[in-house]
């Protein structure tokens, strides 16, 4: 066989075999081409579904095996090294800069931690105080149109920080940017775990 044809074919087959693999915490293996990495997400294309681009939460990834032989492992809590104060600061920054109250009126909101509670103001749906020591559940991040995503959490909340009675409420925020949404989601989970560990 002519070497002129054999070498390009060999190069193409090597490229095809050198694909990345994402190993998830749910024992799934995704054959992929990693296209980018954010603070809390990894972007990829499935090798068997050309054209589409996907986003996966770093918290769901156990390991990435790159086609060139490198490996990258991911902790369950991607923000495990942050203090409670650092976590609270990042949560308030993302909410104040990237989140809106709801998809209907896209009202900009503000957030701050007061007496250990997250206080959300300026909106119509989520206004109030939320206690991250007592989280009931973290529903998965919900993808919306464009580059927006819903981040929600069921936890104890009240109209004011000074309220004597907190009740189960759902905080739901529409966040601009998939990576920012997953970052907020993981920061909230980290804060809940850190506060529970303090008890």
* Percent of the chain surpassing pLDDT 90: 70
Rounded Cα distance, 82 and 186, in Å: 12
- Other beta carbons within 10 angstroms of residue 174's beta carbon come to 23
pLDDT band at 67 (very low <50, low <70, confident <90, very high): very high
Residue 153 reports pLDDT greater than 60: yes
* Range of lowest pLDDT (99-108, 111-120, 126-135, 136-145): 99-108
* Range of lowest pLDDT (25-34, 77-86, 140-149, 175-184): 140-149
Does the pTM surpass 0.75? The reply is yes
Rounded Cα distance, 45 and 86, in Å: 33
For 5, 7, 11, 83, 177, the CA distances from 2, given in Å and listed in that order, are 6, 9, 15, 63, 51
Domains present along the chain, CATH in parentheses: 3-73 (2.30.30.100), 84-198 (2.30.29.30)
Instruction: Give the pLDDT score at 192.
Output: 96
pLDDT band at 159 (very low <50, low <70, confident <90, very high): very high
The tens digit of pLDDT for each residue in 22-31 reads: 999 999 999 9
Over residues 33-37, mean pLDDT: 94
Instruction: Give the pLDDT score at 73.
Output: 94
Q: Is 68 exposed, middle or buried (0-12, 13-18, 19+ CB in 10 A)?
A: exposed
């Amino acid at each position: 066989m002519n070497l002129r044809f054999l070498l390009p074919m060999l190069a193409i087959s090597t490229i095809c075999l050198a694909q990345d693999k994402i190993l998830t915490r749910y024992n799934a293996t995704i054959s992929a081409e990693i296209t980018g990495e954010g603070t809390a997400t990894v972007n990829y294309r499935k090798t068997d579904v050309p054209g589409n681009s996907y986003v996966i939460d770093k918290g769901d990834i156990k390991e990435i095996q790159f086609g060139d032989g490198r490996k990258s492992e991911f902790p369950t809590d991607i923000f495990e090294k942050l203090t409670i104060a650092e976590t609270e600061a990042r949560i308030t920054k993302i909410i104040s800069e990237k989140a809106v109250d709801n998809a209907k009126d896209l009202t900009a909101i503000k957030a701050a931690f007061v007496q250990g509670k997250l206080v959300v103001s300026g909106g119509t749906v989520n206004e109030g105080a939320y206690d991250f020591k007592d989280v009931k559940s973290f529903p998965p991040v919900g993808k919306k149109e464009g580059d927006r995503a819903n981040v929600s959490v069921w936890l104890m909340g009240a109209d004011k920080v000074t309220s004597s009675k907190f009740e189960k409420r759902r905080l739901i925020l529409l966040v601009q940017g998939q990576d920012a949404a997953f970052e907020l989601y993981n920061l909230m989970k980290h804060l809940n775990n850190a506060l529970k560990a303090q008890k």
